[in-house]
Every structure is written in C-alpha cells, then in structure tokens.
Structure 1
Amino acid sequence: MNFSTLFAHGVALVGGAALQMRRLTEGSPEPAWGSAPAIPAAKPQGSIPTLKMPTAKGWEAGRTPIAAPGLKVNAFAGVLDHPRWIEVLPNGDVLVAEALSLDRPPRSVFDYAMITTMRRADAMGVSANRITLLRDKDSDGVAETRELFLENQSQPFGMALVDDTFYVGNTDGVVAFPYTAGASRIAAPGRKLVTFKPAGHWTRSLLLSPDRRKLYAGVGSLTNIAEQGMEVEEGRAAIYEIDLAGGSSRIFASGLRNAVGLAWEPTTGVLWTVVNERDGLGDETPPDYLTSVKDGGFYGWPYCYWGQTVDDRVPQDPAMVAKAITPDYALGGHTASLGLCWVPAGTLPGFPEGMAIGQHGSWNRSKLSGYKLVHIPFANGQPAGPPRDILSGFLSADEKESYGRPVGVTLGHDRKSLLMADDVGNVIWRVTGA
C-alpha cells in the first residue's frame, strides 16, 4: 500500500470524525433548492475539510440506473473511457468526448487530501483525450459501431458543428477542424480559434448561437476562492462569446466560478447555464445553481455568493459585490451540476418543457448530494416548480460506492429521447418513454 493510499485512508478517517462532529453541532440543513432557497449561514471548515467521496465501482452486468415512472433506460453504448460530453450530429451520429482531470502536484494539505480522494473515486488520472463516434444504424437505441473520430486533443469537452467546420473545446482553447458530412474520422490538423488558460476547472463547454454565427464557451476558475490571487484568475470564471466569422472573442458574463452546461431557453432566446459554487462553507452553503445569463452580468465569484452574501475568506471589493446578480434557481449544495439540456414538452412522457441537468455528485459534504439526472420545469421562460428525478440509483444505499456519475446530457436524434454521459460507469445512457 503506497503513501497516497494510506493518506487517502487517513483522510477518510479524519473526515469521518469531522462529519460526525459537524452533524452533532450543526444538524442536517434542509436542501437549498428553488428560486428562494433557505441557505444556511456559512461555517468555514478551516484546516479539516469535509471530504466524502464514494469509491467508483461501475455497473454490474444487467444493472442500470432507475428511471422515473413512465420512462425506461438502456445503455446506448458502453466500455468508454470517462465519457464526459455528447454532441449529436445532423445525420444521427453521436460524438462523445472522453477526458479526465489530470494528476497534478498538490498546492496544500487540503489540496493533497482532495487529490487522493479524487483518485480513489476514479475522478483523476490519465486522460483519453479523444472524441469517439457512435452510430446506431438500425435506430434501435443501441450503437452498433464506433469509430475514433478525433484523437490527441487536450482534455476535449464541448463540441459544435457549423456547416463544414467542427469545433472542439479543449482545456487550452477552441480548435476548428475541417469536417465532411458523414465522415467517421477527422485526420486533418485543426486551427486554434481562441486560447484559454488550462487546468483548474478544466472543462470548456460550447454552445452554438441560434443564428449559428457565435459560440459560447464556459471557462472555470483555477481555484476555489482565488486563494492564489486574482492575477492567475484573469480571464477565467466566465462565459465567452466567440465570433466565428472574425475569430474575435469577449467575456460575455463573469463571476461564474465554474459555468459548465449551457442551453438556450427557446421562447425568450435567453442563455442559461449551471454553475458549480465554492467549497468549504458547509453542506448547503452556497448551493450550485441554474441561472439565466445577462450580457455583461457579474455573478459574484469570488467575493460573494447568491447575490451579495459576502465570503469573508476573500479580500473584498465592495463595488463588485454591489453589482453581483442573484441566480435564478438553486440546485442544492455541492451537487456538481454539470450537464444542461433544454427539453421540449413531449420529449419524455409526463415531463413538461424545462431543463434536464446532469448532477455529477458531491465529494465534500456529510450527506452526499447530486448523483442524479433531474428535470426543472419551466413556464414563461422561467423555472416553475420543484425538481423531479429522471434517473437515479447511481449510489449504493450506504453511500460508500458509486455505480455511475451523470455528466453531459442532450436530446437524442429522434427528439423523443435523452442521452446522458456517465463517466464512472463509462456508459452513454438513453432515456425514453416506457
């Protein structure tokens, strides 16, 4: 047993003791969900962080997530290598970005504890750095063939196709590749369209504008609360707007610690995102959130959260706090909400129009949260009700093992299904009416 493994066990023991103490002194707060969440007061955890991560197990033969009543789920494709994000092409081909957080030197004792915990959960290691093409030729909901579509990328994540150009959101920037309709592989070199700072929150989601002239890209922060200073965070914690014709880019919105999934609400034409908030203030403080995104808007990070609630751990800037926008809808503390997809009414039986959200799941709270694919109903362009599970059952009853972890979600080519990436189960799940 190596030192890293021993340290991980030590972290689990210390973390377990800290969890019990916090439960006794703080109780179990109600989940912070909805448009007007009850967010507990911050309780900084100091040098003994809450670290609780289930060991990655994967799915046993014949076992699947639990679909909501009226729905069914099947494996569209399996035996992938940490599938994170999905793009469905016009001809029905399904592209899957396979990538992983990279091992790195720890920056602190807390960071070392986090890294060892992540390794145990199969959330950090050697990245496949490729995009795989899956093809369901007979339209039975299962991919019969797979091809290596694009390789040797730098932690690829977001994807977008515009006519004969295929865009990839690598951690260090957006790359454009020539594409031929129906092609099963891209071998030609790409050209860098925009450069981003890599590492930290490394995922680079992409969303095409309705007029197909612009790309929007999520770029997360390097750190939790800018503890290495704001200079290294310059150009991060933001959503970018990229002009495809001219190649120019600008920050569209900022103060978003880690904005991942992006989606358009079609009746209003407004951009929405899901954001992973900061760690170390308690189980439900602050909640991750779903929000509309205003051009030029600032959403608080790192100075404050959920509007003007100041984070006392951060050197303050009152002017920035004063202009911080309150998000629209809380998604629970540390649920790691990553995937986001607009779901038109009629896509899944019994589910109205709204947003589907892939919640990757917590690693830093006393009772695990997330580990679900949920649906938030919308009406008149706004969230309009409580969440409802689409898929659950990703955790063992004792929370010690995870069979899978939801990430990216998108509409199937038939517009009557959802496809969801599971990066612990290494599966693409397909959800339809029963």
Structure 2
Amino acid sequence: MIRFAGPTAISALFLATAAFAQQADQPVLKGQAAFGDWRADRPGVRRFIKPEDLPKAYATKSASNGAGLVDRPKGAMPQLPPGFSAQLIASGIDNPRVVRVAPNGDLFVADSEANQIRVYRLAEGGATPVDTIFADGLTQPYGIAFYPADNPQWVYVANSDSIVRFPYHAGDMKASGAPEVLVDAIPSNHHWTRDIAFSPDGKTLYLSVGSGSNVAEGMAKKPEGGLDAWIKSKPLGATWGSEYGRADVMAFDPDGKNGRIVATGLRNCSGMTVQPATGTLWCVVNERDALGDNVPFEYATAVKEGAFYGWPWYYIGDNEDPRHKGERPDLAGKADIPDVLMQAHSAPLNIAFYTGKNFPAQYQGDAFVALHGSWNRANRTGYKVVRLLFKDGKPTGEYEDFMTGFVTPSGDVWGRPVGVAVAKDGALIVTEDGNGTIWRITHGNGPS
C-alpha cells in the first residue's frame, strides 16, 4: 500500500540558522579536511578534492559498516539551505530508484525490487499526487528515457538484463502495449543498475553497464588468444571473460541495433544524464572497495569517446590497484582523470542538471547528485544530495551539501537518496529507498 501525505501536514519551510549556509568566510574543505563523515554534513558545506589528495591504498583497514536502517523518526525532515522547503509527496514505496520527468510533468519512478514503473501526477502546488502502475513484470527496472524527447512516442526502460520500450502518448499513466525488447543478454549479476540516456539529437541511446565484481576477481589475468591480440582488436581498457562488456558505457541506435563501446573502465556508472548546456554525456561512478576508508574517490565525469577511466587496473588517473600490480603496464598513464572527485564510498547513484526557474539564479546549470551512502567505511559518509558547481558550463571541481539530515544523531540511517530530477515547475524531485519516500524541494521565492 502506497501511503501519501498532504502538503499541509508535512510541508515545512526550513528557515535554518546561518550555520546551515556556506558563509562567505567559511573555507572550502580541501585535502584531508574534506574526508569527514555524516556528522560534519550540513547544507552549504563545500568540498574540493583533487587527485593529489588521494591517500595510499591500505592507509586504513577496510571496514564493513552497513547503513543500520531505521524507520523515519517522527517529525524527521531533510535539512536544506535557508529559503528552501521539503515536501513529502509519497511514502511506503518498496524500492524507489530512478525518477524521470515526462514532458507533460508526470513523474516516472522505477520501483526496482517490485519490478514496476510507477507514475505520479502532481496536482497544482505539489498536492497529493495521483499514482498508478505504468508497467509491471519487469526485471529490476532502473533507467527510464522518453523518445523522441519533445513529443515522446516511446518510454524506454533499462532492466538489469535488457532494454525494452513501451508505446507512449503524452499523459499515458499505464502502458498501452507489451514491452518491445531492443537489447537483450545484458549481463546482470553483481552491479545491476542499468541507466539509459539519449543524445541531444536523438540518434544515440547510451547504456551504462556496471562491473560484475569489485575488482575483476573472477577475470583471467590474460584474455584467450593473448593480451597483444586483444589490445589491437578492442577499445582501450576493454575487459574480457566474465567482465566482457562490463564497466562500460555503450551506445546503440534508437532501435537497439549497432551496439558499440563508448568508454571503458567505469566500474559502476549508476547514473547518466546529458548536460543541457553542452550536450555532453555525464556519469556518476561508484568506485571499488576494500582499499581503505578514503581510497579511491568516487566521481562524476563527462564521458569522453574512446576514454578509459581505469577499472580494474588503475584508479583516479595513474594510480595502480595493488591487486593488479604489474598486469597492464601498457595502460600506465592512459586512464582519464574524472572531472569532480567526491569522498570515497559515498555511492553516487544519480545526477540531474538544474534547468528550472524555481531555484535562485546561481543554481542554474549546476548539477545535483544523490549519494546513497557508504558501507565500506569506518565512519559513514554520503546519505545526502550534493550540488556540483559549474561555471560557464564547466565543473569547478567543488561540490556542496544541499540536502542532508538522513542520519539520526545516534548514527542510524533513515534515508538513502537515489534519484534526482527537475520537475516541470522547477522543483527538485528526490527519491530515497531507505524508507521508500519521494520528496519535492522548492525555493520560497519562486512558484510552489
């Protein structure tokens, strides 16, 4: 049963104290000062992490420290910068993950573990939405895309093992036909979150496929036929055996044909989007585990054609993974350094660029990233939504806490952000799967 809460009962304007804002004289946290945990998080805290800040592998022990999920405490609300308000628009959802906004404003939400796509139609002012199941009987659906973008005729859905599409006309809240399989036989064990996005011209469908292991433990040291032959015939950094076609971003025609690899070495690109200002594809990536509390950094990056981002042999540029020491000297110096580095083990899952008119002007063109939160860190980090800062369409490398408060003072977690999207009215929509809720974030000076 999906539970809804009306805006009068649960909408609250967080006129937070100045301590929650980034003060003009408050320094940006850099280097080890940026390696805090949830206790240092609050709206406005800003971090800037550089490749040279990376500690050595095994500087700390590898920890197992799960989220310790609890029910949302009575009255608990996310913390936001002054002037912003958070409204709970739905709760009790099994596993809300990716959220995408249809051109008519409907919210399409992947309820992944329920194997469903749900649709929420918001009333004026964000009142209690109408909710229906658009499609069920899927296989861990995650990514959602509309095609063509301006006047969609199809809703594309990325299952863990396939890409399918449903016929669609503006306003449809239930699929009118059976899913058409466009891409099948996608390997689905281990990392199963498949995201999809279309290029601005609509000619290319991108697909992210995460790795089948932490760091290619089950992959043979060399491919069949020898490494030299593999290097000559495959894209830079391509994996083989059980990891073939994984840790990649792929591309297809809209009908699912002509598949190819765009970029390699992205351990788990769980969220993709196209930057509106430049038309560039972006990924947020979960990096590998078991190298210590602060190694390696997670990241967001523009995805370059033909680029290699390191996994499993290297990370954050030319840092060799000690578990693969000496295996690929041919790749030394060839791994791209990502654009925005974030605290290790934060688990970024989705990204959305802000193009709405509700937030203050300084947010225009920046990106929001949902951090699901750590398990492989002694002191928990993540469990928040952060803002990536851009200037003239380019990332500054800094990121700022935007939506926090999902961890209780005792360290228990009640919220794990997953999906971010910009609604038609300029509100920010956030899903979290700790308590199965959907939130609508607005600014007090704009339309609500």
Task: Please give the TM-score of this superposition, normalised by the length of structure 1.
Answer: 0.82
**Structure 2 CA distance, aligned partners of 1:233 and 1:71?**
44
Tell me, yes or no, if structure 1 residue 133 matches structure 2 residue 124: no
Aligned residues: 375
**Structure 2 CA distance, aligned partners of 1:363 and 1:378?**
29
* SS of equivalent to 2:125: coil
Please provide the CA RMSD for this pair: 1.9
Match of 1:66 among 76, 79, 101: 79
**Structure 1 CA distance, aligned partners of 2:349 and 2:91?**
20
Q: Post-superposition shift, 1:194?
A: 1.3
Structure 1 residues 319 and 226, CA gap change in structure 2 (3 angstroms):
same
- In the TM superposition, 1:121-160 aligns within 5 A as 127-136=113-122, 138-160=123-145
Q: Do the aligned partners of 2:249 and 2:262 also contact (CA within 8 Å) in 1?
A: yes
Match of 1:211 among 195, 198, 201: 201
Q: Which residue of 2 aligns with 1:114?
A: none
Q: Do the aligned partners of 2:356 and 2:424 also contact (CA within 8 Å) in 1?
A: no
Q: Do the aligned partners of 1:31 and 1:284 also contact (CA within 8 Å) in 2?
A: no
Q: Post-superposition shift, 1:395?
A: 0.6
Larger deviation: 338-347 or 230-239?
A: 338-347
Q: Do the aligned partners of 1:411 and 1:417 also contact (CA within 8 Å) in 2?
A: yes
Match of 2:424 among 396, 413, 419: 413
Q: Do the aligned partners of 1:201 and 1:220 also contact (CA within 8 Å) in 2?
A: yes
Q: Which residue of 1 aligns with 2:223?
A: none
Q: Which runs of 5+ in 2 are unaligned?
A: 1-30, 36-46, 220-239
**Structure 1 CA distance, aligned partners of 2:125 and 2:252?**
37
Q: Which residue of 1 aligns with 2:375?
A: 363
**Structure 1 CA distance, aligned partners of 2:128 and 2:264?**
39
* SS of equivalent to 1:175: strand
Q: Do the aligned partners of 2:96 and 2:109 also contact (CA within 8 Å) in 1?
A: yes
Structure 1 residues 305 and 67, CA gap change in structure 2 (3 angstroms):
same
**Structure 2 CA distance, aligned partners of 1:246 and 1:153?**
18
* SS of equivalent to 2:332: helix
Q: Which residue of 2 aligns with 1:110?
A: none
Q: Do the aligned partners of 2:49 and 2:342 also contact (CA within 8 Å) in 1?
A: no
Q: Post-superposition shift, 1:269?
A: 2.2
Match of 1:241 among 247, 251, 257: 251
Q: Post-superposition shift, 1:43?
A: 0.5
- In the TM superposition, 1:174-185 aligns within 5 A as 174-185=163-174
Q: Post-superposition shift, 1:268?
A: 2.6
Q: Do the aligned partners of 2:145 and 2:197 also contact (CA within 8 Å) in 1?
A: yes
Q: Do the aligned partners of 1:237 and 1:255 also contact (CA within 8 Å) in 2?
A: yes
**Structure 2 CA distance, aligned partners of 1:194 and 1:246?**
5
Tell me, yes or no, if structure 1 residue 374 matches structure 2 residue 386: yes
Larger deviation: 356-365 or 84-93?
A: 84-93
Tell me, yes or no, if structure 1 residue 306 matches structure 2 residue 309: no
Identical aligned residues as a percent:
37
Q: Which residue of 1 aligns with 2:54?
A: 39
| AA of the residue aligned to 2:333 | A
Q: Post-superposition shift, 1:198?
A: 0.8
Task: Please give the TM-score of this superposition, normalised by the length of structure 2.
Answer: 0.80
**Structure 1 CA distance, aligned partners of 2:193 and 2:215?**
18
Q: Which runs of 5+ in 1 are unaligned?
A: 1-27, 100-126
Q: Do the aligned partners of 1:215 and 1:242 also contact (CA within 8 Å) in 2?
A: yes
* Segments of 4+ moved more than 4 angstroms: none
Q: Which residue of 2 aligns with 1:423?
A: 433
**Structure 2 CA distance, aligned partners of 1:265 and 1:191?**
28
Q: Post-superposition shift, 1:307?
A: 0.4
Structure 1 residues 364 and 234, CA gap change in structure 2 (3 angstroms):
same
* SS of equivalent to 2:324: coil
* SS of equivalent to 1:384: strand
Q: Which residue of 1 aligns with 2:400?
A: 388
| AA of the residue aligned to 2:126 | G
Q: Post-superposition shift, 1:422?
A: 0.6
**Structure 2 CA distance, aligned partners of 1:377 and 1:356?**
9
**Structure 1 CA distance, aligned partners of 2:379 and 2:32?**
10
